[in-house]
Amino acid sequence: MNIKIIAVGKIKENYTAAAVAEFAKRLKPYCSLSLVEIPAQEIKDEKLSEKYMSMEAEKILAQTKQDSFVITLEISGKQLGSEEFADKIKQLSYSGYNELIFIIGGANGLHKSVSGRADFKLSFSKMTFTHQLIRVFLYEQIYRAFKIINNEAYHR
């Protein structure tokens, strides 16, 4: 399966970058993984936040294909346990989707056009996390899902 992660902003901290790199390395036997980083729009005037989010949205949506299954990470999305998440990925692969896209918004969230494009909205928690930490959580959960799908030791 091809998995693409579209994330607004770049990782700044070395410890976060190292964690993402480690899980990306561990995922190589299970899927083809790519990352697209969309530059974050710095919002200097809150009145213009909708405009800036719209600019990010255009860049995000340009990276999606019509036949890809898109999962946005949103606080209002559905929360899944690790086994349920693994089952979701497994069912999508059986359904003939060649590409699974995860979208992580920036500090201002996702524009309604990106949320509207989602085939599934996923929430890791009702809490708010930085987009950098969510990236680590997502990579780890994708890795955990493939370990569960393949009945391999890791999940406890």
Tracing tokens 């949205």 back to the chain, one arrives at 57
> What pLDDT was estimated at residue 155?
60
- CA 117/CA 18 separation, integer angstroms: 31
Q: What is the DSSP letter of 107?
A: T
In which band, very low, low, confident or very high, does the pLDDT at 112 lie, cut at 50, 70 and 90? very high
Express each pLDDT in 127-138 by its tens digit. 988 888 999 999
Q: Spell out the domains of the chain, with CATH numbers in brackets.
A: 2-149 (3.40.1280.10)
The pTM for the full model equals 0.94
* pLDDT given for residue 37 in this prediction: 96
Q: Exposed/middle/buried for 133, CB within 10 Å: 0-12, 13-18, 19+?
A: middle
pLDDT tens, 15-69? 999 999 999 999 999 999 999 999 987 777 777 788 888 999 999 999 999 999 9
Q: What is the pLDDT of residues 58-95, one digit of tens each?
A: 999 999 999 999 999 999 999 999 999 999 999 999 99
Residue 3 reports pLDDT greater than 90: yes
CA nearest to 72, candidates 84, 56, 60:
60
Position with higher pLDDT, 88 vs 155: 88
pLDDT at 21: 97
Contact 7, 37 (CB under 8 A): yes
